[in-house]
Amino acid sequence: RAFMGTAVDYGQPRLQCNSETINNGSCFGYAVCGFCYGYIDDGSIPEEEKDNFYDTFNLIVIGAVLPAIGMFGLLGNTISSFIYSRKEMRSSMNVYLCALACSDIIIIITSFFLFVLESMRKRSIFAHRLYATAAPYMFPLGLSAQSLSVFLTVTAAADCLVLVRKSFQTVIIIVLLALAYNAPHLFEIYVIDCWSLPYKKPSKDVCPTELRGNEMYVSIYYAWMYTIVMAAGPLLLLILINTSEYENLRFFYKENTSISHDCDSGDVITLILVVALFVTCNILPLTVNLLEMLMQIENPYLIDLSNLMVVVNSSCNFLIYYAFGSNFRRTLKQYCRRSRVFIRRAATRSTRRRRRRPSRQIKNATFEPLPVTSLIIEPNKEFLV
């Protein structure tokens, strides 16, 4: 960690910042932001040589479209996790779908830090510092949630074929496996204090550790294990499971018999579409990984689109649940009606309390006695007051 810096007295002659010190990775006693991974934005690149089209593309895709889809996904997954956790929706497959919704919430939240903040840190010193501070925690957490989502999707897809009796214990085991698989990410990056040349003030940056720089580790863990465990392996397995479930569904419809276990036809259709969405959204990330692993090609446009597809996959399951899950839709409508009745009754009670409660003016008013008038009675005359 040779680039760690601390606040210094800028009046000392030895603490300089010029082209020579910048090339050596130092400025005013700080490490230069970006030096530890080979990129220094010192403003020397002419404007006409910068890829302004990519900056616009990145701002639209990552800075605008991804947060909009992610906000919808947070709402949808919150509703999904609530509905699938209800007593009347209790089944082994729904336990996995509830856990899947929770993992998708984590994926979306961490994507705001890892993707949106990473894009915004070119435009704001606050985003630059916040990204570097949050990255060591959000990076392993987001990848663990992504692994959990993959494992849960495969388990839920296989549930209607092979009924798993202890679904809660299975979810706990899957969570532990996802955390164990992604534990090495905790030791891949660290945060340093650095000098930002574009903003001309101290900031923070993320640097890779020796483990992350080890070529054998990157080749085995990132290239081959990721492809087998997170990409190609689950995709092929899900395609086989989906095909089998589709054939079973056709057979049950043809023979006019009920589906076995606790999965009805609506659940099977829902699950088939969830798996189809997963496969569709993960084709591009797999392609990006294969291009980088086999041909050493890194296309920033494809990387941004693959990150967007990860968020799309985590955000759109609610639409499938509502459109094709009859039990899900019925339960959601029941709770919506109950919430409307509860709100209406609460408003009625509040109105009644306000009517019964005396106004503050009447409560604090002081009443003075009326003056007593004398009655004068004279013969053969009317009463005079």
Q: Over 70: is that where the pLDDT of 62 sits?
A: yes
Distance CA 116, CA 332 (A): 32
pLDDT bin (cut points 50, 70, 90) of residue 254 is: low
Tokens of 371: 């003056």
Distance CA 242, CA 221 (A): 28
State which amino acid sits at residue 29: G
User: Domains (ranges, CATH) in the chain?
Assistant: 51-188+208-328 (1.20.1070.10)
Q: In degrees, to the nearest 5, what angle opens at C-alpha 306 toward C-alphas 290 and 100?
A: 105
Residue 70: Cβ-neighbour burial (10 angstroms; 0-12, 13-18, 19+): buried
Tokens of 154: 């495969």
| pLDDT of amino acid 2 | 42
Q: Over 60: is that where the pLDDT of 366 sits?
A: no
- Residues pairing with 205 in the sheet: 192
Query: What's this model's pTM, rounded to 2 decimal places?
Result: 0.80
Question: How does pLDDT run across 207-245, given as a tens digit for each residue?
Answer: 999 999 898 998 899 888 888 888 888 888 888 888 887
Contact (Cβ atoms closer than 8 angstroms) between residue 335 and residue 83: yes
Distance CA 268, CA 134 (A): 39
Q: Over 70: is that where the pLDDT of 132 sits?
A: yes
| pLDDT of amino acid 331 | 92
Task: Say which residue the tokens 């080749």 belong to.
Answer: 219
